[in-house]
Amino acid sequence: MTHTSHTVQDPNADTIRQHLEQHLQERLDILAELAPHALPSVDPVAYQTAASNRMVVEQITRALNRLDAGTYGGCDRCGRQISPARLEVLPHAAACIECQSHADAA
């Protein structure tokens, strides 16, 4: 499979960045609140919630890096554009719906 890189210079890059940074801070605040209890032996639910939030923090950070690199909005797998509707719902999405569906099915 050939991956083509699309450089995306979105006129709304500042708005997207602010939105991603806001979501990042919200997740970091949740992690800070959960930290004292997020041990499998103390509170397994808090532990799993913290793990999920850490994963989203990584995804948001990668989205910010793609924004800096000018590749935000391009699918990491196939190189096509991720639909604006998908990015509106999941602004840190790294894959288009088709590629994500294939990955989820695997």
**Position 100, amino acid:** Q
83 belongs to a structural domain: yes
The predicted model scores a pTM of 0.83
Q: How many separate domains does the chain show?
A: 1
Model confidence pLDDT, tens digit, residues 39-55: 988 899 999 999 999 99
Q: Is the pLDDT of residue 7 over 60?
A: no
**pLDDT tens digits along 63-104:** 999 999 999 999 999 999 999 999 999 999 999 999 999 999
CATH of residue 74's domain is: 1.20.120.910
Which residue range is the domain that position 62 belongs to?
13-105
CA Rg value for the chain: 16
